[in-house]
Structure 1
Amino acid sequence: MKLSWDLQRTLSKVNYQIHTDAIKENLIPPEITKQQSNFVYASEADLLNVALFGLTAKEWRDINPDKKGNISDFAIIEQLVVLSNMESINALLIQQGLPQNDRLTQLNKVAMTQMRSLLDNKAILKKLK
Structure 2
Amino acid sequence: MNYQIHPDAIKENLVPDTLTKQQIGAVYATEADLLNIALFGVTAQQWRNENSTLQGNSATTLICIS
Do the two structures share a fold, i.e. TM-score over 0.5? yes
Shift of 1:45: 1.1
Match of 2:31 among 40, 44, 54: 44
Gaps of 5+ in 1: 1-13, 85-129
TM value normalised by structure 2: 0.78
Letter in 2 for 1:41: Y
In structure 2, relative to structure 1, the CA distance for the partners of 1:67 and 1:17 (3 Å cut) is same
Alignment map for 1:83-102 (pairs within 5 Å): 83-84=65-66
**Higher relative contact order (CA closer than 8 Å, sequence separation 6+):** 1
1:23-52 deviation line (CA, Å, top 9, x unaligned): 001101111111111111111111111111
Dislocated runs of 4+, deviation >4 Å: none
1:95-115 deviations in Å (ceiling 9; x for gaps): xxxxxxxxxxxxxxxxxxxxx
Q: What percentage of aligned pairs have identical amino acids?
A: 57
Structure 2 segments unaligned to the other structure (5+ residues) = none
RMSD over aligned Cα, in angstroms?
A: 2.1
Aligned residue pairs total: 65
Q: Quick check: 1:63 aligned with 2:50?
A: yes
For normalisation by structure 1, the TM-score amounts to: 0.44
CA separation of 1:49 and 1:80: change in aligned 2, threshold 3 A: farther
Radius of gyration: which is bigger?
1
